[in-house]
Amino acid sequence: MDDIVRQAMVKWPNVPNAYGWLGLDARGNWYLRDAQAQALGAFASGTPGAKGSMLRHEKLIDFIQRNYAADAEGQWYFQNGPQRVYVELELTPWVWRVQADGTVQAHSGQPAQLLEVLTDESGRVFLRTDLGLGLVHSQDMGLVADLVEQERWRPTPVRAVDMPIEHGYVTSPQARQAVV
């Protein structure tokens, strides 16, 4: 976490959390969701416009990614100065980029240590790493196929619906907040 963020948290300790305003899609892209986008439906609903506007400002994306973490309940957030902005996840909290040598990097560029390869009923590939669970980026499926064919990776079958509970993450903190 950036020092400036830590300092802001101390200076303004009682800033309310924000829900629904930021989303991470299955390709590792960040989306800003204004009130109009939120009114169209859930981030992962597939409703046109519900995702919001994809962020393209590299320095803003880097700032978000440096200050991206999970709380004790498995809800992922971006610590924006004193305010915690909870993230709506299209699928998982991480999107993995697979390198030709089989190493793995998060959408944020962080290296990760591979612990387990999983595949769901739709053929999507998930990786459990020291950083947590994430989806393999669709552009890297050829590399995954090569690693499986070489028997360097051995996927375990899973059910997609079970992933959030089994791996301790919440896809929609906003929806969870509405229930609590």
Query: In this predicted structure, what is the pLDDT of residue 167?
Result: 96
Q: How confident is the model at residue 8 (pLDDT cuts 50, 70, 90)?
A: low
Q: What are the angstrom distances between the C-alpha of 35 and each of 39, 102, 103?
A: 6, 41, 39
Cross-sheet strand order for the sheet of 125-129: 111-112, 104-106, 94-98, 132-136, 125-129, 114-119, 156-157
The tokens for 120 are: 């769901």
Q: How confident is the model at residue 82 (pLDDT cuts 50, 70, 90)?
A: confident
Q: In the predicted model, is pLDDT for residue 94 greater than 60?
A: yes
- Domain 3-91+169-179, CATH class in plain words: alpha beta
The tokens for 64 are: 């978000």
Query: In this predicted structure, what is the pLDDT of residue 85?
Result: 96
Q: Which amino acid, 180?
A: V
How far apart, in whole angstroms, are the C-alpha atoms of residue 155 and residue 142? 15
Question: Domain-by-domain residue ranges, the chain?
Answer: 3-91+169-179, 94-159
Q: What are the angstrom distances between the C-alpha of 74 and each of 100, 165, 179?
A: 31, 9, 16
Query: How far does Cα 91 stand from its chain's mean position?
Result: 7
Where does residue 106 rank: exposed (0-12), middle (13-18), buried (19+ CB within 10 A)? Answer: buried
DSSP annotation string for 95-144? EEEE-TTS-EEETTS-EE-EEEEEE-TT--EEEEETTEEEEEPGGGHHHH
Q: How does pLDDT run across 12-55, given as a tens digit for each residue? A: 567 689 999 999 999 999 999 999 999 999 999 999 999 999 99
